[in-house]
Structure 1
Amino acid sequence: MKRWLAGALLLCWMGWAAAVELLISTGEYAPWSGEKLQGDGFVNRVVREAFAREGIAVRFDYLPWARALESLRNGSVQASSFWFDDPVKAKEFLYSAPISEHREVLFHRKDRAVPNWQKLSDLNSLRFGSTRGYSYTVEFRQLARQGLLAVEEADDDRVNLLKLLAGRIDLFPLDEFTGWQLLASDAFPRGAHDLITTETKPFSVQYGHLLMRRSPANAQLMARFNAGLAKLRADGTLERFRLDLYRGSGMGQ
C-alpha cells in the first residue's frame, strides 16, 4: 500500500510539473542572461533546455538581481537563474550542478596605474565598484565589510562602468565577456572600450548555478534538472550552445 501510494504521488507530481510552467527569477547579465537575447542568453537557454529534456516547461521573470534572489526566498518563484558559488547562499538554497564558467577580471581605465598585487588587500588605496545583489568572493566581501577596501555599490554593471570611465571608481570586478560586450554596446559612447583595460591576474573564476529553496520536493526537482543538464552534456548540446555563444551566432539580436 505504501509503495503504491508513493508511486501515485510521484506520478501526480510529475503530471503537475509537466502541466505547469516553473517560474524562474533572473536578471540582465549579457551574454549569459538577458530578456532581449535570443533564448534568454546562454545560461537561461541551457536551463530551459535541461528542464525540457525532463518534460518541464519554464518561464523567466526578469528582475534586478537583489529582487530576483528575494523572490526566490519568499516563494514568489520556484527557482532562480543564475548565481555564483557562495557558502552563505549554499546554507539557504539548493545549488544545481555547474551550468557556466566565468572568468572575472578587474576593469580599470588605461590611464589609472594599478600596483602589482598578489591579494586584494594590496589594492586598498583604490576605490572599487560593485553591483548590488552580486555574490563576489568571500575575501572581497570580508575586506569591504571590515573597511579594508573602499567599495561603492551601484544598481547595475552599466552604472559601474560609467563611473569607471568618469574616474569616480578605480576598479570594477566583472565577468570578462560581459564587460567587453557591454562597453561595445549602444549604452556607451563610441570608443569607450578603447579607454579601458583589465588586469591580467583574474579577480576570480566562478561557476553559474540554478538555485532553489530547500525542501524535499525541490530536491527531487533539482535532481531532474541536473539529469537534464547531464543529457545536454552527453549528447553535445551544451557544447553546441557554448560554440554559439563564442561565435556570437544565435545569442544576441
Structure 2
Amino acid sequence: MVLDHPGESAMRILALCATALWGMLALAASAQPLTVVTEEYPPYNHLDENRQVVGLSTEVVKEVLRRAKLPYRINLYPWARAYHLAQNQPNVLIYSIGRNSQREAMFQWVDVIAPYNVFLYRLKSRPEVQVQRIDELTRFRVGAVRDDVRAQYLEKIGIPADLVVDDSANAKKLASGRIDMFPIDEIAMAALYRREGMDPNSVEKALALPDLSSGLYMAFSLQTAPDIVERCRTALRDMRRDGTLEKIKAAYLH
C-alpha cells in the first residue's frame, strides 16, 4: 500500500476546499440580484410611458436572465455612468454595448443580442457636408456620446469629437448647426427622432461606418463569477437555436 506524503495530502485538501469555496461563492453571487445597467437608446433600451425599461435588447436580456434563473434589477443611466459601473463593480451586466479591441479585456462578453449598423448622418438641408472617406471628417464638426464605442472609434482614427451625454443632445446640436454630423445606428436614428418630436426625414446618411457595425452585446463586469456568465451564454445560445431571439428581433424590426 502506497501512502500519500503528508504535504501531498495537505495540498489535495486545500485544492478541494478552494473548489468548494468557489462553488459556494458562485452560488451566493447568483442568489444576489444582478445590477443590470443600460442607457436611453431606443428602440434597443429605453423608458416607456410607465417609466419601465423596455426595448428590443431589454426583452432579449430579460429572457436570458429568466432562463438562467438569475434575479436582477435594471437601472437606466447616462452611458458614461453605466460604463464606469460595469468596469468597477462586481455582478454588473451592461447592455447594449459595442465591442472593440479597446474593450475586449475589460468585460466578460456574452454574445450579440441585436444588430448594429452605424452611419454618419447630416442634415438634408446642408448638401455642402460631403464626405467620401473617413479621413475627410477632420474638416467637419462631429458629435459623439462620451465613452461610447463610436466616440472611441473616432478618437482612435484621429477625428476630434464634440462629446455629449446622449444622442438626444447630438440630434439637437445637428438641428441647430452646432455640429455637422454624428454617427448613429440607422434603426436607432429613426426611433430617436420620433421620440424627440423631430422629423427623421430631415437627415440623411453621409457615410457608412462598417468598422462599427458588428452588433450590440451584453457583457459582465470582470468581478462577476464565470458561472453566471456561462449560464447566460448557454441561455442565449438556446434562444438563438429555438428561434426566440429571431422572434424578438422581428417584433421590433419588421
Q: Is residue 65–residue 133 contact of structure 1 (8 Å, CA) maintained in 2? A: yes
Partner residue in 1 for 2:227: 220
Is it true that 1:26 corresponds to 2:6 in the alignment?
A: no
Structure 1 residues 14, 92: closer, same or farther in 2, change over 3 A?
closer
Normalised by the length of structure 1, the TM-score is 0.83
| Correspondence 1:17-56 to 2 at 5 A | 19-36=31-48, 40-56=54-70
1:208 correspondence with 2:216: yes
Alpha-carbon distance in 2 for matches of 1:23, 1:242: 24
Instruction: Give the 3-state SS of the residue equivalent to 1:206 in structure 2.
Output: coil
Q: Does 1:159 align with 2:183?
A: no
What CA distance in whole angstroms lies between the structure 2 residues aligned with 1:219 and 1:172?
37
Match of 1:251 in 2: none
Secondary structure of the structure 2 residue equivalent to 1:85: coil
Q: RMSD in angstroms over aligned alpha carbons?
A: 2.6
Aligned to 1:250: none
CA-CA distance at 1:56 after TM superposition = 1.2
**Corresponding residue for residue 189 of structure 2:** 179
Counterpart amino acid of residue 131 in structure 1: V
Q: Distance in 2 between matches of 1:137 and 1:21?
A: 31
Aligned counterpart in structure 1 of residue 109 of structure 2, from 95, 98, 107? 95
Unaligned runs of 5+ in 2: 1-11
Residue type of the alignment partner of 1:214: L
Question: What secondary structure, in the 3-state scheme, does the structure 2 residue paired with 1:182 have?
Answer: helix
1:115 corresponds, among 119, 130, 134, to 130
Shift of 1:160: 0.7
How many Å apart are 1:199 and its aligned residue? 2.7
CA positional deviation for 1:123: 2.6
Structure 2 Cα separation of the partners of residues 70 and 201 of structure 1: 29
Instruction: Give the 3 Å change call, closer, same or farther, for CA 201–73 of structure 1 in structure 2.
Output: closer
The CA deviation string for residues 66-105 of structure 1, in whole angstroms up to 9 with x for no partner, is 0111112231652222210121221222222222220011
- Name the CA distance, whole Å, in 1 between partners of 2:130 and 2:17: 66
Structure 1 20/162 Cα, relative in aligned 2: closer, same or farther at 3 Å? same
1:234/1:88 CA distance change after superposition, 3 Å? same
Taking structure 2 as the reference length, what is the TM-score of the superposition? 0.82
Whether the 8 Å contact between 2:88 and 2:221 is mirrored in structure 1 is no
Indicate the residue corresponding to 1:241 in structure 2. Answer: 248
Q: Deviations over 1:124-183 (max 9, x none)?
A: 211101111211276522234xxxx34211111011111111111111100111111111
CA deviations 1:7-44 (Å, max 9, x no partner) are 75576456535533211111111111113287621112
Corresponding residue number in structure 2 for 1:81: 95
In the alignment, is the contact (CA less than 8 A) between 1:18 and 1:57 conserved in 2? yes
Separation of aligned partners in 2, 1:26 and 1:226: 19
Indicate if the aligned counterparts of 2:26 and 2:227 stay in contact, CA closer than 8 A: no
Q: Could you say what secondary structure the match of 2:201 adopts?
A: helix
Displacement after TM superposition at 1:201 (Å): 3.1
Please say which structure displays the higher CA radius of gyration.
Answer: 2
Give unmatched runs, 5+ long, in structure 1.
248-253
The answer to which of 76-85 and 172-181 deviates more is 76-85
Count of residue correspondences: 238
CA distance in 2, matches of 1:125, 1:79: 38
**Aligned to 1:129, what secondary structure does the other structure show?**
strand
Specify whether residues 39 and 28 from structure 1 end up closer, same or farther in structure 2 by C-alpha distance, changes over 3 A only. Answer: closer
